[in-house]
Amino acid sequence: MLYLIGLGLSYESDITVRGLEVVKKCKRVYLEAYTSILMAADQSSLEQFYGREVILADRELVETGSDQILAGAQEDDIAFLVVGDPFGATTHTDLIIRARELGIKVEAIHNASVMNAVGACGLQLYQFGQTVSLVFFTDSWRPDSFYNKVMENRKIGLHTLLLLDIKVKEQSIENMARGRLIYEPPRYMDIATAASQLLEIEELRGEKAYTPDTPCVAISRLGSPSQTFKAASLKELAEFDSGEPLHSLVMLGRQVHDLELEYLYQYVDNKDEFKKLVEADQEYFKPPPYVAPVENDDEDL
């Protein structure tokens, strides 16, 4: 059996009781180590808590060496640990498909992830639209594929959760081209970088999916002891020091409920100014008034 086990967001003890019981009985335990990190735990603390060796599974092993992970899983129990929930990344879905092609049984043990814990900022989960990812820009690559999805969410009034890029065990283009296994230091996108990149793309596209005054919520270290939120305009967040990682960002939709707004006030610098931002944003994407179709009285024509 292959078990995909969610670890939650922060502590080694955030694993569920059933997940811990499974880990203790598995022959091998892998930790997926590139789509996210536990903010208050590491490989060593996990091994101490589980009483088991934990094998780090980087991007290369998961994406090209799945046979190594799945080896013997027809007869033995193998655990694949994922920060958050097992289905938080498409890579994990691919691993399940490969396992099933080999006739290996698969079971998922779920846990909290940013996709549901984001509700801690005060915005209602029912009011979220498509989630998008924002990657680090380079000198030659500034992708804007997220933009249309943000626009779609905004037009129907829904909030957008933006997941910010992390780079763990990544190679530079030069080292990759030369075949040198030299890895760059880990990098985690912060709120200021994300907001600046969003503003840059809006300036290039000019379609006003959002503006510098669009209200947003910066989320830092969600689920950790130092979890913080900051509600402000996009241009204000482009200069915001969000501290240590991990970070994510929510762009508010037009349909902000009164209770959501009241909750967000505890994270603003100026309640009246933030309310004005929200009201102006709601007006911009307000649907046009309904116009009844004109009836044709001359049915013979």
Cα distance between residue 193 and residue 241, in whole Å = 10
Q: According to the annotation, is 123 in a ligand binding site?
A: no
> Would the annotation count 222 as a binding residue?
yes
- Contact of 191 with 240, CB cutoff 8 Å: yes
User: Is residue 85 a known part of a binding site?
Assistant: yes
113 is in an annotated binding site: yes
Phi and psi (nearest 5°) for 14? -75, -15
CA–CA distances in Å: residue 201 to residues 38, 145, 147, 253: 31, 10, 8, 19
Is 223 marked within a binding site?
A: no
Beta-strand relationship, 160-164 and 132-134? parallel
* Backbone dihedral angles phi then psi of residue 128, each to the nearest 5 degrees: -95, 140
The answer to whether 9 is a known ligand-binding residue is yes
Give the integer Cα–Cα distance in Å for 197 and 199. 5
DSSP 233-288: EHHHHTT----SSPEEEEE--S---HHHHHHHGGG-S-HHHHHHHHHHHHHHTPPP
Q: Which residues on adjacent β-strands are paired with residue 30? A: 55, 80
The Cβ of residue 16 has, within 10 Å, a number of other Cβ atoms equal to 16
- Binding-site residues for S-adenosyl-L-methionine, in ranges, read 9, 85, 88, 113-114, 164, 222, 247
Known binding residues are: 9, 85, 88, 113-114, 164, 222, 247
